[in-house]
A = this chain, B = another copy of it.
């Protein structure tokens, strides 16, 4: 029986978030006997809450194709968090929207929090005996989703970071004595993105790397910076946004998910160097461009993002629900993966940190096993379409569903 599908984007966007949407649309169109309308939910789960859906079949072909090189969430994202109790009034409103539009397939593209949402909607549908398949598509530059080998968006963000940090290092080393650079990468709980700098060639690796997975000693940090600066005249240190050290969090901004806004680690460490050692510093937050730059999309990441969108649709049509498309690595060299359905309940709110075995404190920065893991994910070049010097981005017409 023909049902409608709805696609939801949630949480922080990545460079390939819209590639998964592209994949899902392409696959859904192959099954017109099973999937009728293809809807997008505006601003994540808010679209289902407020019955604010768009008809993706009304978009132009050119726009759909451009999704593959468009950052940000084309459907709009949200950080809105549903109440914990899935019998809440909000959940009932979601169920009503699903019923109203005869939606039989819900796809949620997001990270840990979004998989929690997917989990609850699937429980709700089951309990209310409303036949609707709920499938998660993994997305987070942080790469901290459980079960899956890696998360979509991580490879492209890592590629942005290694290229950007290499430029910072080359620029800094142009001077006999330069400012001490403290560079901050994203990663609320895990250091995957910061650690990706270990992929740089040995002669262009940063001097220091700090991950949330390791204890941080302010004293040792200052000693190391001092020693290297005296020796070489410049220091480039990479720190992860989620690095834990003694700091005053009382004034930090807290978002609606009760996440403390952690940006500012680099700035604090740079101040510390200035105050304690008296050296000139520059703190560089890689900030939004690391997750939003489509110029350096990794081909592997983009292809897998499209594949996961497609497979999500296939899983739904196979009758699976309450699962997320997971990636299983079969081999790193040559790189080869397949996909499997992972239980969203196991993924929701879980966090996958870098295993200790991948961490090393020598001048290679990380263990060989980390390099083997990470390298295939940043490989391959994607040709980007430009107009007047700037990449072209999809802008959806967003024709509302009545």
A residues whose Cβ falls under 8 Å from a Cβ of B = 9, 13, 43, 46, 70-73, 76-79, 159, 162-164, 166-168, 170-176, 181, 199-201, 203-204, 253, 261, 263, 280, 282, 284-285, 287-289, 291-296, 298, 375, 378-379, 381, 386-391, 393, 395
Contact = CB atoms under 8 A, between A and B. Distances in A.
Given A13-B174, A263-B282, A168 B288 contact: yes
B284 A393 contact: no
28 contacts: A13-B171, A46-B176, A71-B171, A72-B170, A72-B173, A73-B174, A77-B174, A77-B175, A159-B390, A163-B390, A164-B289, A164-B293, A166-B390, A166-B391, A166-B393, A171-B288, A200-B390, A201-B390, A203-B395, A282-B287, A284-B287, A285-B285, A295-B296, A375-B388, A375-B389, A378-B388, A378-B389, A381-B386
A284 B253 CA distance: 17
A263 B270 CA distance: 14
Contacts of A381: 386
A71 to B, nearest CB: 5
A220 B261 CA distance: 28
Nearest to A14: B171
Contact of A390 (B162, B172, B288, B289): B162
A292 B78 contact: no
A393 B174 contact: no
Contacts of A162: 389-390
B296 A175 contact: no
Which of A13, A175, A296 is most buried by chain B, counting CB atoms within 10 A of its CB? A175
A174 B288 contact: no
A22 to B, nearest CB: 16
| Minimum-distance CB pairs A-B, first 10 | A378-B389, A72-B170, A167-B292, A73-B174, A171-B292, A72-B174, A77-B174, A72-B171, A284-B287, A171-B288
Contacts of A284: 285, 287-289
